[in-house]
A = this chain, B = another copy of it.
Amino acid sequence: MPSSTDTASTAKRGRPGYDQQSVLRIAVDVFNRHGYDATSMGILADNLGISKSAIYHHVPSKGDLLKLALEHALGGLEAILEEPAATSGAADARLEFVLRQTVAVLVDRLPFVTLLLRLRGNTEIERDALERRRTFDHKVAALISAARDEGSLRQDIDPRTVTRLLFGMINSIVEWYKPGGSLSPERLADDVITMAFDGLHSTQH
C-alpha cells in the first residue's frame, strides 16, 4: 500500500491531480456510457478535463486503458478460483463460496465488470478478455456439475442450463445494483445464494 507521500508524488506526474487509477476509473465510466468503440481519446480528454497529450502521459493508448480495466475485472474473478475455499471441500460448498465471491467482485469492481460483460469482441484485447471470461465460466460450470454428481444439486435440470441461468441472475447485478444504497453487498450475496439454492417458495409451502 502506498504512503500518502507516494500517492501525492504519483498524482503529481499527471494533471490536474490525476493518477493512472483515477484516469482509468473515469475512462471506464465513459466507455460504459458511450461504448468502447465510440469513445475517442478526444472524448476521454473532454471528460477528464485534460488534454489528449496529458492522457498519453498516463497511458500509451485507448487499448491500454481497456486492457488495464479488463485486467482489474478478470483478475478479481480469477483470484476467487485460487482461494482454498474454492479448491477443497464439498463441491456445493465450493460453489456457494465462488458465487458469493463473484457477487462481491461484481459489486466492488462494478464499472469494470460492466465493461467486461458488454464487450463485443471487435479487437484482439476484447477477444482475449472474452476468452478469459469463458474460461472462468467453464470452471464454475464444472463446479456445478461436480455438485450435481455429488448429489447435492437437483438432477432434473441440465447443468448447462443451470450455469446460464445462474450467470444471468448474477451478471444482471451490474445493470441494477446501486452501491451505497440500502442493500449491502453481503446481503445481496446472501439473497442470491438463498434464491439460487433454496428457491422462492416459502418453506411451509
Contacts and interface: CB of A to CB of B under 8 A. Distances in A.
Interface residues of A, number: 40
A127 interface: no
Interface in A139-170: 151-158, 161-162, 164-170
Contact of A199 (B35, B170, B196): B196
B194 A197 contact: no
B172 A165 contact: yes
B195 A157 contact: yes
Nearest to A118: B118
Q: A-side binding surface: helix, strand, loop or mixed?
A: helix
Nearest to A157: B191
A201 B200 contact: no
A175 interface: yes
A205 B152 contact: yes
Contacts of A92: 201
A124 interface: no
A74 interface: no
Contact of A169 (B152, B157, B172): B172
24 contacts: A35-B35, A92-B201, A151-B202, A152-B201, A152-B205, A154-B200, A154-B203, A155-B202, A157-B191, A157-B194, A158-B183, A158-B191, A161-B188, A165-B169, A168-B171, A168-B172, A168-B173, A168-B176, A169-B172, A171-B172, A195-B196, A196-B199, A197-B200, A198-B201
